[in-house]
């Protein structure tokens, strides 16, 4: 991971003002309040988390958003957990965390969850494909050979109300825009979809309800994308969300996704989901300039993140 540089000159803000800006955009984007009858899940790539030194106020703003949700899949967590523990000081004591060890790019993945609503069950494992199965990870029109995940997806079983499921926090390989790297990403996507399909169908699976959440590095939810085709090939559903924007700051990429199969998770899905564009006005309004967004974007990336959270609601 490479940390974003701080904007220059440094921007200072008032925590109460920016917290209120987040809350006003939450209402605008129709994010439901927590309810005893629903699970509000989300995924958020926290962006070099633990490398660039966010302030306590920065962490408080991030915690404000996280606290709206019962379960949050997180990605891009650094090896050192000092920053994550500081973030958790801004969350209610009922919030717990579970993490993988570092993988490619020295990143961890994991989950933050509100233990008042969500119970962690016995299963916690990194998803891996045995070398003997690598030959099955292939797609028409995609070259190269699958050689394992760069960052193994992290699967943890949870229960909320009557809904038991295995959630998977994912950060698929990106690399570059070269054909080689795009094909590698598509093969990772297919390996993930194949694993999810097998566990969804296996009689002995810990849970047949599989909830895949994370940074899929998916440019568009279109059949022209091999990554999209790979995710869909084994039955994963990527529901359209109520917001039409992307999860990157430019709003033009569908990098982050929530996916599940037909059956229990689909039946529980309320149809409510969306991207939360925390960078929407009036956030950091003092430095917003529609004719020159560079300074604003630099500040948002450094203080908060370069990905927006994506959320989805399920009946429990």
| pLDDT digit string, tens, across residues 188-224 | 999 999 999 999 999 999 999 999 999 999 988 888 8
Domain 15-315: what homologous superfamily? Endonuclease/exonuclease/phosphatase (3.60.10.10)
> And the tokens for 108?
């961890």
For range 246-261, the mean pLDDT? 95
Structure confidence at residue 262 (pLDDT):
93
- pLDDT surpassing 90 at residue 244: no
Prediction pTM value? 0.97
Structure confidence at residue 224 (pLDDT):
84
- pLDDT surpassing 90 at residue 80: yes
Q: What is the pLDDT of residues 139-176, one digit of tens each?
A: 999 999 999 999 999 999 999 999 999 999 999 999 88
Structure confidence at residue 176 (pLDDT):
87
Q: What is the pLDDT of residues 33-42, one digit of tens each?
A: 999 999 999 9
178 vs 285 pLDDT, higher one: 285
- pLDDT surpassing 90 at residue 179: no
Query: What is the DSSP track for 224-261?
Result: T-HHHHHHHTTT-B----S--S-SBTTS----EEEEB-
Structure confidence at residue 98 (pLDDT):
99
- pLDDT surpassing 90 at residue 281: no
- pLDDT surpassing 90 at residue 292: no
Structure confidence at residue 131 (pLDDT):
96
243 vs 18 pLDDT, higher one: 18
Average pLDDT, the chain: 96
Structure confidence at residue 246 (pLDDT):
94
> And the tokens for 242?
């109520």
For range 112-139, the mean pLDDT? 97
Structure confidence at residue 18 (pLDDT):
98
Query: What is the DSSP track for 75-128?
Result: EEE-S--HHHHHHHTTS-TTEEEEE----GGG-EEEEEEETTTEEEEEEEEE--
* DSSP SS3 for 196: helix
For range 52-58, the mean pLDDT? 96
Percent of the chain with pLDDT over 90: 91
Name every residue whose Cβ is closer than 8 Å to that of residue 151 and which is 6 or more positions away in sequence: 103, 104, 105, 107, 109, 171, 172, 173
Structure confidence at residue 223 (pLDDT):
84
Percent of the chain with pLDDT over 70: 100
Q: What is the dihedral of CA 148, 44, 154, 235, to 10 degrees?
A: -70
pLDDT band at 241 (very low <50, low <70, confident <90, very high): confident
Domain extents for the chain? Answer: 15-315
Residues 21, 18: Cα–Cα separation, whole Å = 5
Structure confidence at residue 199 (pLDDT):
97
Exposure of 270 by Cβ count < 10 A (0-12 exposed, 13-18 middle, 19+ buried)?
middle
Structure confidence at residue 178 (pLDDT):
85
- pLDDT surpassing 90 at residue 87: yes
């Amino acid at each position: 991971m490479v940390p974003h540089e701080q904007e220059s000159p440094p921007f200072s803000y008032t925590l109460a003002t920016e917290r209120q800006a987040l809350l006003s955009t939450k209402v605008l984007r129709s994010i439901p309040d927590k309810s005893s009858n629903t699970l509000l899940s989300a995924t958020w790539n926290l962006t070099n988390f633990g490398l660039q030194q966010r302030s306590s106020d920065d962490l408080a703003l991030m915690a404000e958003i996280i606290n709206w949700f019962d379960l949050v899949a997180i990605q891009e967590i650094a090896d050192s957990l000092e920053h994550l523990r500081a973030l958790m000081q801004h969350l209610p004591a009922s919030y717990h965390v579970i993490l993988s060890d570092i993988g490619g790019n020295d990143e961890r993945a994991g989950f933050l969850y509100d233990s008042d609503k969500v119970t962690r069950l016995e299963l916690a494992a990194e998803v891996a494909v045995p070398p003997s199965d690598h030959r099955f990870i292939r797609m028409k029109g995609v070259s190269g050979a699958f050689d394992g995940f760069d960052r193994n997806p992290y699967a943890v079983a949870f229960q909320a109300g009557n809904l038991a499921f295995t959630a998977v926090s994912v950060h698929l390989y990106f690399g570059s825009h070269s054909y080689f790297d795009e094909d590698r990403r598509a093969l990772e996507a297919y390996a993930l979809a194949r694993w999810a399909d097998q566990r969804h169908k296996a009689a002995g699976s810990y849970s047949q309800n599989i909830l895949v959440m994370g940074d899929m590095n998916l440019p568009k939810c279109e059949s022209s994308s091999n990554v999209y085709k790979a995710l869909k090939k084994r039955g994963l559903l990527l529901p359209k969300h109520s917001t039409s924007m992307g999860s990157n700051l430019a709003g033009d990429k569908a990098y982050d996704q929530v996916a599940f199969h037909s059956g229990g998770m689909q039946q529980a899905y309320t149809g409510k989901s969306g991207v939360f564009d925390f960078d929407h006005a009036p956030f950091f309004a003092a430095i917003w300039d529609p004719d020159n967004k560079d300074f604003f974007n630099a500040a948002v990336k450094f203080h908060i993140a370069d990905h927006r959270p994506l959320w989805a609601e399920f009946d429990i």
